[in-house]
Amino acid sequence: MATSNISATMKTSPSSTTRSHCNSLSRFITFTSNNNIHHSNHLFFTKTSNSSLRSKRSLSLYVNNVISDQKLTEPIPQQEVNDDPSSFSPNSISIASNIKYHAEFTPSFSPEKFEVSKAYFATAESVRDALIANWNATYDYYDKLNMKQAYYLSMEFLQGRALLNAIGNLELSGPYAEALSKLGHDLENVAKQEPDAALGNGGLGRLASCFLDSLATLNYPAWGYGLRYKYGLFKQNITKDGQEEVAENWLEMANPWEIVRNDVSYPVKFFGKVVAGSDGKKHWIGGEDIKAVAYDVPIPGYKTKTTINLRLWSTKAPSQDFDLSAFNSGNHAKAYEAQTNAEKICYILYPGDDSVEGKILRLKQQYTLCSASLQDIIARFEKRCGGSLNWEEFPEKVAVQLNDTHPTLCIPELMRILIDVKGMSWKQAWEITQRTVAYTNHTVLPEALEKWSYDIMQKLLPRHVEIIESIDEQLLHTIILESGVEDLELLQKKLKEMRILDNFDLPDSVLELLFPPEENSIMDSNEEVNIYDEDEDSNEEADSDEEKESEGENNWNKTMALFKPAPKAEKIVRMANLCVVGGHAVNGVAEIHSEIVKEEVFNEFFKLWPHKFQNKTNGVTPRRWILFCNPDLSSIISKWTGTEDWVLDTEKLAELRKFVDNKDLQTEWRAAKRNNKMKIVSFIKERTGYTVSPDAMFDVQVKRIHEYKRQLLNIMGIVYRYKKMKEMSAEERKDKFVPRVCIFGGKAFSTYVQAKRIVKFITDVGATVNHDPEIGDLLKVVFVPDYNVSVAELLIPASELSQHISTAGMEASGTSNMKFSMNGCVLIGTLDGANVEIREEVGEDNFFLFGAQAHEIAELRKERAEGKFVPDPRFEEVKTYIRSGVFGSSNYDELMGSLEGNEGYGRADYFLVGEDFPSYIECQEKVDEAYRDQKRWTRMSILNTAGSYKFSSDRTIREYAKDIWNINPVDLQ
């Protein structure tokens, strides 16, 4: 490598204010246009909302021999040094210099060229400079004030690309675009080089990322905690056989946004055994030990210096666990076994759990997240407290939010640390834990209310099982004391529903509550009975005692039988119940969902602790989901509302209602939608090979593939549409049907066979319909492979109709429905999840509603089981048509069979596709009618955006902060 001659001079302002900010400022480097570099290190805070700058200092550094042969398109002059911090502003010249510096001195690529992939890394590292500086400043300030912080634990963070979001939040999009232009590159092309971070799958992870954006933007002190998955869930390819899964490669070229913290690591233990020490404390010893190492990803707020942190854990084994002797003897696999076992914990998001090994790996993932995060949280708490450590203050300084049940082990883990490590009593530790932890429920689906095998958990986490058993026993005492023992059958039902441990015998202490010792002397009486006494009275008395004893014994046996677990039933740990018991707050994520949580899912808990339950309707960030992904629409909104404040105060979107019938607004609105549709036309051609018309309605359903989300209902409606088209003349079908491009996207979990059948069927229908010359552009069916955030950022702004058609009462909330509505897309859907609230806000006339309602579902399933369901002839017609072979040689008997019969696993149409099919296709006819009137449709579109003001994650986070976490925003200004 070429040598460099370096000399440096430092200039600093004498101002003490300037000096105090020096360590929180980022570097901007100025290069001359020849092969000598003048490195001017302007350190600055990013702009606040009033565009003020806080401080800077300047460093001059001369370096010879710049190797890259990429020439700037114009010379970049040296920046003048100015000691007035308020006069300095990052511009394209200094940014270009900084990018060039990283291309040379933070190299991820060979030096010969400055191609677009290298430009991406250098640009990201340039932006990261500013984020690190603000990150340091943010947490220096939080530590100084020692304020309460919220910690958001989630197995998923579906971030999407970071570059455009970061420079947008820093208000540097223009300067970075100009800087890259000077370097011979286009910002949009550079941004496309970034792979989506493979840290999530669906709405759960995207919600978590929206929350982090809002927390930073609103200046709330908070961190996110997750796992750093090497391969993510999987990358989805679509082949002739349907979905094919391959490993994600998002880390193959490294991740420029993360900062490894080699000095921040914590031990995590598995297996082993629990022993009692001479001091009476429990000690968890032996087993398998790994290390969790921190990787930090800075999360910038919009128009604020606040930059919060997403800390991701990666796992490895201590170096001493490498078996050098085995390696040298040729047994390489054995030598590396410990490292392999440690590393595989963070290989895959949601590894398949059909095997015992898969279940153990999933449980290891969950415990790693909980243990490492809590150890880190506690270490930070102790550091902030210094010499005045008071554990009673822990809940006053720390709020831990569990995003669904995956981080449930936080509850027994916090108890373990407080009792076994910090030496607290059970009572003190339990009070601290309950006041610290809160739980967000995301589902009412039975299979998603997480349960774990007791045997697996006991083997992997023996100390935690002891703690969970004690929590369960304490819960049983609480329930019995509250409910009484008069009605044992009612009590048994309550215990069955509420226990954390399912299919377990009652503990002895609980049996004593049911049968107090003084009353339970059936089998152990100390009274002597003289059985030889011939006295009649004595004999009668003895007979009476025997009868009572016999009656008592019978009652005892009946009671024991009542509370006896089912024979041969597997012992289960119910994580959702543990969350409700171990936390101080439980929230649903939409109004209808929260009611179902209270009235059905956790009804007995709600009756016991009504104060714990509340609603927090989900929200999405308007920065990523309007401002950055839909700039054309954003400009229109700002123009007609007269302000850009809607980006931070979405209630201003409602101002659009005043102009909904304005012809100029409608014309601009349609033009923006058309422009976005043209991007999708090119995208679909590139990704699938299909050519679609921008003049057709873009009808979109993109989300995780699951039976309850009913992609099957959608595609069967399309099949019905196609069949009717084929039965008509060209003129008839043109008059009857609006042209549509039906777009699907989403991943089916790799072991979810039925979901994968649905993907295969959709692609088969598309292959037939899209090559039918009679139909032409009147109908196209497209499955977009590997749907992710970046694809969503293209599809959502271009969509005109979006389908949110889950079986009522089964979707907790949804967030994609909010994103579509924000972008002026009209929804068709059931009264489920956030659809209910969206429909209320946008207006009933601007939402296409169909289907059974949540309160009707149980009765409809009951009628089906009794054989009373009579399918609509059109539904039967579609099934017959599918089985006719028109869509290829694949056998769809299993798929169609799931919709038939009245009972049985995988049959009887549990998700009511056949029940809702008639109202669905009739509603789709109303969609066609509305779309023909483009003035009416545009009006509906505008009112959807105007009515989406309620669904900003900023609003949701304010509610969490106030009602659950009790934290306050802190502005670094």
Catalytic residues: 442, 703-704, 709, 815, 819
Run of H or E including 921: helix 913-932
CA distance 59 to 281: 57
Task: Tell me which DSSP letter residue 614 carries.
Answer: E
CA distance 553 to 549: 6
Structure tokens at 391: 């554990």
Backbone angles phi, psi at 107, to 5 degrees: -75, 135
CA distance 664 to 434: 56
End-to-end CA distance of the chain: 44
CA distance 130 to 167: 10
What's the one-letter identity of residue 318? P
Task: Tell me which DSSP letter residue 184 carries.
Answer: T
CA distance 336 to 483: 56
The residues, ordered by sequence, that sit 6+ positions from 890 with a Cβ below 8 Å of its Cβ are 760, 761, 764
Structure tokens at 759: 């993907």
Cβ pair 21, 45 in contact under 8 A: yes
Backbone angles phi, psi at 224, to 5 degrees: -105, 150
Q: Is 352 helix (H, G, I), strand (E, B) or coil?
A: coil
CA distance 757 to 891: 10
Tell me how far apart the 2 most distant CA atoms of the chain are, in Å: 125
Helix-helix angle 488-498:462-483, to 10 degrees: 150
The residues, ordered by sequence, that sit 6+ positions from 799 with a Cβ below 8 Å of its Cβ are 698, 699, 700, 743, 820, 823, 825
Q: Which ranges of 156-280 does DSSP label H, i.e. alpha helix?
A: 163-169, 173-182, 187-191, 203-217
Q: Of 170, 160, 180, give the one whose Cα is nearest residue 119.
A: 180
Q: Is 664 helix (H, G, I), strand (E, B) or coil?
A: helix
CA distance 577 to 967: 26
3-state SS, 40-108, equals ECCCECCCCCCCCCCCCCEEEEEEECCCCCCCCCCCCCCCCCCCCHHHCCCCHHHHHHHHHHHHHHCCC
With tokens 């292959």, the residue in question is: 767
Structure tokens at 684: 């679909």
CA distance 133 to 46: 9
**Which residues, listed in sequence order, are joined to residue 225 by a DSSP beta bridge?**
153, 311
Q: Of 417, 434, 127, give the one whose Cα is nearest residue 266.
A: 417
Q: Which ranges of 223-355 does DSSP label H, i.e. alpha helix?
A: 324-328, 332-335, 337-343
